[in-house]
Amino acid sequence: MPHINILKTALTEVSKQINQTKYPEIVFPQFVYVDGSGSPLMDERVHFSADITGDLDTGLITYNTNNFDQVGVTFSHSRTPVVTWAKTVQWQEIELAKAAALGVNLDTQKIMALNQNAHQTLQKVAFLGHAQDTRLKGLLNSPDVEIYSPTLKKAISAMTFEESVQFFEELFLRALEKTYRIDAPNTFAIDAMDYAHLGLLTRDNAINDTTALDHLNKVLSGAAGKAVSIKALPSDFGTLVTSGKHRAIAYINDQNYVSMDVPQSPTVLGAMKKGIMTYESGLKMVFGGVTFKEPQSALYVDY
């Protein structure tokens, strides 16, 4: 069998593995809806939203009505750049020759490691955008989202039980007010160490051991009339936006409010000979940044 066929056979199996492999540390789909629609060939994605205006005290008709009231619909749109990412790995001819001679499978750990790198890239873009193309923004650094200054100027990790309740109640009410009291945030994303602090924090001299995290999830859900959760941002993303501070976000985690475009997930490239002694393959994907379709529904806090 020609050496390149050895590689092609191995890559066919790798394609199946890539679609089935999950990485526990890759959690960004829990924080933002991943939109896989659209063409991998597009350069940008246009997202539309509509504002409907009309008098709520009109519209009634009688037998003599000839003119009917109307409502106004204003469409607004945002454009999200879409970029192509590709990286390659190589095999020396001797690797393919040995696999052919011995009848063993070719070592494909190189491309599986590349697949992990691709998913880590998507996660980084989902939260912080991409340094090579600053048009791409993430969940934590959109210029369209308001940065709110809370009354309590204190790190979450240094708060008491009562202070943490005051802090999150203030953020919740401000976020609710920003949507004109139409909808409430359902997600608060905070630094992982701050999340751990809330999970260990209890009231002084309390009869029970209810943690601040459990208490906040319960009371915020009650106030919103729907499930609200405080989530831990992966890695140290919450500390990389503003120097010396942590960034948290309160937002509505729903595809109608915020999404990330990934028209093409990591896909194996065809094998080809490169040079006298080298064969090459790789991965390609197409993605955009995070788009807030209703930016007034989100709120940043730096602390």
Per-residue model confidence as pLDDT tens digits over 243-287: 889 999 999 999 999 999 999 999 999 999 988 889 999 999 999
pLDDT of residue 249: 98
| Mean pLDDT confidence for 73-85 | 82
Name the residue type at position 148: Y
| Mean pLDDT confidence for 209-222 | 96
Q: What class does CATH assign to 146-258+295-302?
A: alpha beta
Query: Which fold is adopted by the domain 3-21+28-51+75-139+259-290?
Result: Major capsid protein gp5 fold (3.30.2400)
| Mean pLDDT confidence for 41-66 | 76
pLDDT of residue 40: 93
| Residues carrying CATH 3.30.2400.30, the chain | 3-21+28-51+75-139+259-290
Three-state SS letters, 44-88: EEEEEEEEEECCCCCCCCCCCCCCCCCCEEEEEEEEEEEEEEEEE
- Is the pLDDT reported for residue 48 higher than 80? no
pLDDT of residue 135: 96
Per-residue model confidence as pLDDT tens digits over 140-163: 999 999 999 999 999 999 999 999
* pLDDT range class, residue 54, cuts 50, 70, 90: low
pTM, two decimals, is 0.87
Q: What are phi and psi of 274, to 5 degrees?
A: -130, 110
Calpha distance 179→168 (Å, rounded): 17
Instruction: Name residues whose C-beta falls within 8 Å of residue 292's C-beta, 6 or more positions apart in sequence.
Output: 78, 142, 144, 145, 251, 257, 258, 298
For residue 194, the surrounding DSSP H or E stretch is helix 192-200
| Coil/strand/helix, residue 263 | coil
Per-residue model confidence as pLDDT tens digits over 155-191: 999 999 999 999 999 999 999 999 888 899 999 999 9
140 within 8 A of 28, measured Cβ to Cβ: no
| Residues carrying CATH 3.30.2320.10, the chain | 146-258+295-302
Q: Are strands 272-274 and 290-292 parallel, antiparallel or unpaired?
A: unpaired
Q: Given CA atoms 23, 145, 293, 137 in this order, what sign does their dihedral have? A: negative
- Is the pLDDT reported for residue 46 higher than 90? no
